[in-house]
Amino acid sequence: MLLVIDVGNTNIVLGVFDGEILVKDWRIRTIRDTTADEFNILAKALFADNGIRLSDISDVVISSVVPPAVPILDRFCEKHLFRKPLWVNPASVRNLMPILYNNPAEVGADRIVNAIAAYRRYNRSLIIIDFGTATTFDAISEKGEYLGGAIVPGIMISSEALFQKASRLPRVEMFMPPEHVIGKDTIDSIKSGVMHGNAALVDGMVARMKKEMGSNPFVIATGGLAILIADLSESIELVDSALTLEGLKIISQALRES
């Protein structure tokens, strides 16, 4: 079995593949001051609930945008899985996709994983929107080149800033958009501004990126809040929630075969 791990600033997403099948996946909080042994206890508990043993894991591939997590997960893999993980970074995947950033090393590992996965699956020009701690937009050419993209504050970050800086505004959970764009009370007005506002941001950014790309890219979304925003957006054509995990599997297969 293949263990894939994507370490984000807010969450760590883990998945276990048996061949091409994603057996199970989990989303846990990113903890920067844990230890390899503590992570092992957590992993064993998650696995045990689904009949998976640590000894079933034959390979591990990891992407991370959180530097403190690297030595922790390295040690976890070596001490408890008895193998070294494959780390995804611009250098390790340079033969899988040309990265046309001025400095390829600056591109987040998760963005590279999404780009490779999406192009391998859809084989066309793409715009990938990942709703995470930050909302990222990534452009992929028809030739499979990573062109670059844009980064904006994520939905939860911007919402949290609003609640902290505007003391009279109530904290609102963003699980369901309001029925109307024009809110009739404070809660619906906040929901509208955050959710319809982010949908409008997406549509505006996609339109501008398409113009620069000079093509008609397929627009896909991933990340925790992708489904909510996709329902409000006019430009998102598909939500692929498992894109990053699938990408780690694809990269693992491609690198180990090369």
Q: Assign 96 to helix, strand or coil.
A: coil
Q: How far apart are CA 35 and CA 13, in angstroms?
A: 17
3-state secondary structure 11-39: EEEEEEEECCEEEEEEEEECCCCCCHHHH
6, 110, 130, 138: which one is catalytic? 110
110 annotated active-site: yes
- Quick check: 11 and 40 in contact, CB under 8 A? no
Alpha-carbon 131 to chain mean position: 7
> Which structure tokens are listed for 43?
């992993």
Burial of 65 (0-12, 13-18, 19+ CB in 10 A): middle
Strands 59-64, 86-87: pairing is parallel
Q: What angle do the packed helices 69-76 and 36-48 form, to 10 degrees? A: 60
Residues marked as catalytic? 110
